[in-house]
Chains A and B, each alone.
Chain A
Amino acid sequence: MIKIENLHVSVGGKEILKGINLEIGDGEVHAIMGPNGSGKSTLSNVIAGRDGYEVTQGSITYKGKDLLEMRPEERAWEGIFLAFQYPVEIPGVNNTYLLKAGVNARRKHQGEQELDAMEFMQLVKEKAKLVELDQSFLSRGVNEGFSGGEKKRNEIFQMAVLEPSLALLDETDSGLDIDALRIVAKGVNTLRAANRSIVMVTHYQRLLDYIKPDVVHVLADGQILKSGDASLALELEERGYDWVRAEAHV
């Protein structure tokens, strides 16, 4: 699905990512864990194409194409989706309207017929059920006045509607209450598919109890210091990150 090689990224002249190597196969679920400020969101943002991140070295190949050449919306059309750590509010812009524009821009790009209002409403209602998102959120402004947890749930709802090939979930679990976490995780699990890869950035093992990852990575000091199976997360929960660092830097 995606192959990241020796990726170096600077923000405001400061190097944050210092040679990331990461390969994710079709249908795989990867978890990325790591200390605050280690560059997890930076990596997600670079993959999604956000401005302000300077790639000084390395490459990202997505579905055989050079991802770094594409504008953010082109990446979305090609199936990349980022669930934001801090979803932004866009006052007055209807949540459903935004999604409809996104879905139809992508369909147009792919030479498919655009969905009309009726078809789209049907799709949206169906997907809202998946994450048990109340219908009232569909007609509100994008994240406008949503609580922290509601914003996160809305992100996964959007993922369900946009049906990406590669979903990056940046701390989607943070801010969700116990029940919401279970519901959102159930939604994500339903979305698991052979042609859909998922990257979860998280600080907590708890999420991984619900969504079992194939691979767990530790991102610290701008590099992936260690990768392992689901048991690595349990070990991190118990021991923290220092031992990984110590191990990596000998």
Chain B
Amino acid sequence: MSEVKNKEKVEISAQEHASREYEAGFVSDIEADTLPPGLNEDVVRHISAMKEEPEWLLNWRLEAFRHWQTMTEPHWAHVSYPPIDYQAVSYYSAPKSMKDGPKSLDEVDPKLLETYAKLGIPLREQEWLAGVAVDAVFDSVSVATTFKGKLKDAGVIFCPISEAVRDYPELVQKYLGTVVPAGDNYFAALNSAVFTDGSFVYIPKGVRCPMELSTYFRINAMNTGQFERTLIIADERSYVSYLEGCTAPQRDENQLHAAVVELVAMDDAQIKYSTVQNWYPGDENGIGGIYNFVTKRADCRGHRAKVSWTQVETGSAITWKYPSCVLRGDHSVGEFYSVALTKMCQQADTGTKMIHIGKNTRSTIVSKGISAGRGNQSYRGLVKIGKDADNARNYTQCDSLLIGDKSGAHTFPYVEVKNATATMEHEATTSKIGEDQLFYCQSRGISEEDAVNMIVNGFCKDVFNELPMEFAVEANRLMEVSLEGAVG
């Protein structure tokens, strides 16, 4: 087993007071234990050992790793980037002071808390107005989970997945990899081999989770990949609303983020999963930024189960992401609401898959893409109606808004229908922010920049309306910050 070498001190970036273009682009001065770059079985074993994992999990990881070695990186997405050197990435980085794990927030490195304060995340319970419980993942380790007590009273389990492996091994073993199998795709296999942390949620039968659950992910250390794994199980008749937020510091080299999210909804259960993703997008010349290769899938395993994915994606240099729903239970419902903004040299290939298996299943897809600068994005959606999925219905609406004349938008809707009773509706539009719309606003006393924000937010409204209240405000603001300088 290899030793933890590199006890490097992450330097303070010159861009500490990062430019407004990317408000979250600071680097925290925190001592970190970081594995040297490279990936082999020893690294996988090391990660597993660091986390004191049971043998079944180590074996599961090793199997995933061996499978990954036989696979090749997929290149069908409408994005381009130089080859990724997987041996140049470090697969584990933990803030040093976390080694023994904080028992309470008071034991958390104040620098870490400061980082979250800068991000505008109020971590301390007393600062919570909205009643959101947070699991914060910093580089690879979960830092603190707030509101544990109140959740525990309701019987809700919300903790870092590494803790769940230790405290609720039977639950983890029962569900892990059942929605996204270890060998599902190249990035999912990589994640299965080396995932470091992430959140675990279990909502027991009949329980309505008393508050929004929320995880903030942040990549801080240099040359580290982030491979978090989230597993949410909503048992019969339960309900949970979950939000993840993501930021990363501003760095010149690209960083890899390959997460896996698995959702399981049993009979009459509902999961609402919202993402506000603001990973560093790189600079205006396309230098730096996060490569965001994420596999998100929900399994509506029970009858009348319902899962909604809502995402607001403004960050990352490259996004490759298709939150999907497998509608297995009869009368189950899948929804996908997405806003993706690409500007400068950002590329996004995103969309969803709705797999109708059960009878009377319904799915709704609303995708809003905004491209500015040289931003380029594709919507890629698959709606599949299985042969037993009687009376399945899908509604797809796919709108693109272009700003400037160097940006691009593409739509790739795929449909596979094996049952003649299916009802499919598809609407697609591409529009530009009109000079007439801008002038109209200006003639009412609104500056051009504010007018663009207003029009873009109006364009996104159907999706923002799906976000929990407090995050809808955040999303609005994020769009404004992201659009700064994107026009003109």
- Which residue of the partner chain, among B436, B441, B458, contacts A91 with CB atoms under 8 Å? B458
Question: Is A51's CB within 8 Å of the partner chain B?
Answer: yes
- Which residue of the partner chain, among B443, B448, B460, contacts A92 with CB atoms under 8 Å? B460
A216 to chain B, nearest CB (A): 25
B-facing residues in A64-93 (Cβ within 8 Å)? 71-73, 75-77, 80-82, 84, 87-88, 90-93
Taking a contact as CB atoms under 8 Å apart, the answer to whether B447 and A105 are in contact is yes
Chain A interface size range: 35 or more
B454 to chain A, nearest CB (A): 5
Give the docked Cα–Cα distance between A102 and B455 (Å). 14
Give the docked Cα–Cα distance between A180 and B450 (Å). 33
Question: Is A99's CB within 8 Å of the partner chain B?
Answer: yes
- Which residue of the partner chain, among B436, B446, B461, contacts A88 with CB atoms under 8 Å? B436
Residues in chain A near residue B457, CB distance under 8 A: 92-93
Residues in chain B near residue A50, CB distance under 8 A: 439, 443
Give the docked Cα–Cα distance between A204 and B439 (Å). 27
Give the docked Cα–Cα distance between A208 and B276 (Å). 55
Residues in chain A near residue B435, CB distance under 8 A: 51-52
A156 to chain B, nearest CB (A): 14
Question: Is A103's CB within 8 Å of the partner chain B?
Answer: yes
Taking a contact as CB atoms under 8 Å apart, the answer to whether A98 and B459 are in contact is no
Q: In the complex where A88-B437, A92-B460 touch, is A162 in contact with B442 (Cβ < 8 A)?
A: no
Question: Is B125's CB within 8 Å of the partner chain A?
Answer: no
Question: Is A141's CB within 8 Å of the partner chain B?
Answer: yes
Question: Is B20's CB within 8 Å of the partner chain A?
Answer: no
Residues in chain B near residue A49, CB distance under 8 A: 442-443
Taking a contact as CB atoms under 8 Å apart, the answer to whether A91 and B459 are in contact is yes
Taking a contact as CB atoms under 8 Å apart, the answer to whether B443 and A72 are in contact is yes
Which residue of chain B has its CB nearest to the CB of A84?
B440
Residues in chain A near residue B437, CB distance under 8 A: 88, 90
Q: In the complex where A88-B436, A90-B455 touch, is A101 in contact with B446 (Cβ < 8 A)?
A: yes
Residues in chain A near residue B450, CB distance under 8 A: 101, 105
Residues in chain A near residue B447, CB distance under 8 A: 71, 73, 105
Question: Is B82's CB within 8 Å of the partner chain A?
Answer: no
Most B-side CB within 10 Å, residue of A82, A90, A91: A90
Give the docked Cα–Cα distance between A103 and B333 (Å). 43
Give the docked Cα–Cα distance between A48 and B445 (Å). 11
Which residue of chain B has its CB nearest to the CB of A75?
B443
Give the docked Cα–Cα distance between A142 and B455 (Å). 10
Taking a contact as CB atoms under 8 Å apart, the answer to whether B442 and A71 are in contact is yes
A48 to chain B, nearest CB (A): 5
- Which residue of the partner chain, among B436, B444, B459, B460, contacts A76 with CB atoms under 8 Å? B444
Give the docked Cα–Cα distance between A7 and B462 (Å). 45
Interface residues of A (CB under 8 A from B): 48-52, 71-73, 75-77, 80-82, 84, 87-88, 90-94, 97-99, 101-103, 105-106, 109, 141-142, 158, 162
Listed by A's residue number, 22 A-B pairs whose Cβ atoms lie within 8 Å are A48-B443, A49-B442, A50-B439, A50-B443, A73-B443, A76-B444, A76-B445, A88-B434, A88-B436, A88-B437, A90-B441, A93-B455, A94-B458, A97-B454, A98-B444, A98-B446, A98-B454, A101-B446, A102-B445, A103-B445, A105-B446, A162-B445
| 13 new A-B contacts at CB < 8 Å, known A71-B448, A73-B448 | A48-B443, A49-B443, A72-B442, A76-B444, A81-B443, A88-B436, A90-B441, A92-B458, A93-B455, A102-B444, A102-B445, A102-B446, A158-B444
